[in-house]
Amino acid sequence: MQQPGKALKVSIYVADGSTHHGVASASALLDFLFYRGVSGATVFKGVAGFGADHHLHTASLVDVSDRLPIKVEFIETPATVEQLLPRLKELCGTGMIEIQETTIVKAANSASPPPPVHHKVEGKAKLLRIYIDETDKWHDKSLHQALVEALRANDIAGVTVYKAILGYGSGKHVHQRHVFSTGASLMLSVIDIEPKIRSFLPLLDKMMPNGLVVLSDVDVITYRQGSASPLAFPDEAPHA
């Protein structure tokens, strides 16, 4: 967030139509500034001017020139500008970068509410992978649907069902599924803390007619807003 005081105004000039790795240079610069947390940036497009050849270029609704410059401008602290400058030079290519000392008299206030606080939580968990066929049933219901419902009913943090499109099994015969084919192999991926996964295994034993179950140790990093966590790690669990 900008604060009143000494700052630098950076102006980056690139040619309209110039690209960086296939992306318009102005867009690449704007994306880089946005994801590096720069307070704000503005893109200006030239409408008239001339260069070293003293040939006048204009842009109008009838005749739009692709030789007019585009300027990307932002204001930041000297320390931030110093960190960004090497990458800005690379993204600028054959363009020009101008830096001027300036003073922020009044910082802009965001009209929107402050962003929610993000938390990062790390811990140990179990990854449960269940391999079944799309045609498998459990009590006249698709097995994968029944498993998802059972996992949710047992308060498991989450599950994702993946459909195989290509692979082979023990017979070494390659199977390829088409858009409208049925009977594909499915994989259910489940992650939660070990006690909850272990408590679900007896029910899983009863529901599985055939297939494969794989259980692995994983290190989990979760990002969340607020105080609720999708995984209740042991060191987070409430104490009586």
DSSP letter (8 states) at residue 122: E
Give the integer Cα–Cα distance in Å for 150 and 196: 13
- Put residue 80 in one of left, alpha, beta given phi > 0 → left and psi -120 to 50 → alpha: alpha
How do residues 139-161 score in pLDDT, each as one tens digit?
989 999 999 999 999 999 889 99
**pLDDT at position 196, please?**
94
Give the integer Cα–Cα distance in Å for 46 and 211: 64
pTM summary value: 0.56
**pLDDT at position 63, please?**
47
Mean pLDDT estimate for the chain: 82
Give the integer Cα–Cα distance in Å for 11 and 71: 6
- Spell out the residues 6+ positions from residue 204 whose beta carbon is closer than 8 angstroms to its own: 130, 147, 213
Ordered by where they begin, the domains of the chain are 5-104 (3.30.70.120), 118-225 (3.30.70.120)
**pLDDT at position 230, please?**
59
DSSP letter (8 states) at residue 170: T
Give the integer Cα–Cα distance in Å for 192 and 223: 15
Give the integer Cα–Cα distance in Å for 225 and 100: 38
**pLDDT at position 159, please?**
95
**pLDDT at position 66, please?**
53
How do residues 43-79 score in pLDDT, each as one tens digit?
998 776 665 555 655 555 444 445 568 999 999 999 9
Helix residue ranges, H only, 121-193 = 143-153
Q: What pLDDT band is residue 216 in, cutting at 50, 70 and 90?
A: very high
**pLDDT at position 165, please?**
83
Q: What pLDDT band is residue 239 in, cutting at 50, 70 and 90?
A: very low
**pLDDT at position 180, please?**
47
How do residues 1-25 score in pLDDT, each as one tens digit?
567 889 999 999 998 888 998 899 9
How do residues 145-203 score in pLDDT, each as one tens digit?
999 999 999 999 889 999 988 877 655 555 555 544 556 889 999 999 999 999 999 99
Q: Which H/E stretch holds residue 70? A: strand 69-76
**pLDDT at position 69, please?**
80
Greater confidence (116 vs 96) lies with: 96
How do residues 102-136 score in pLDDT, each as one tens digit?
998 887 776 666 666 667 778 899 999 999 999 99
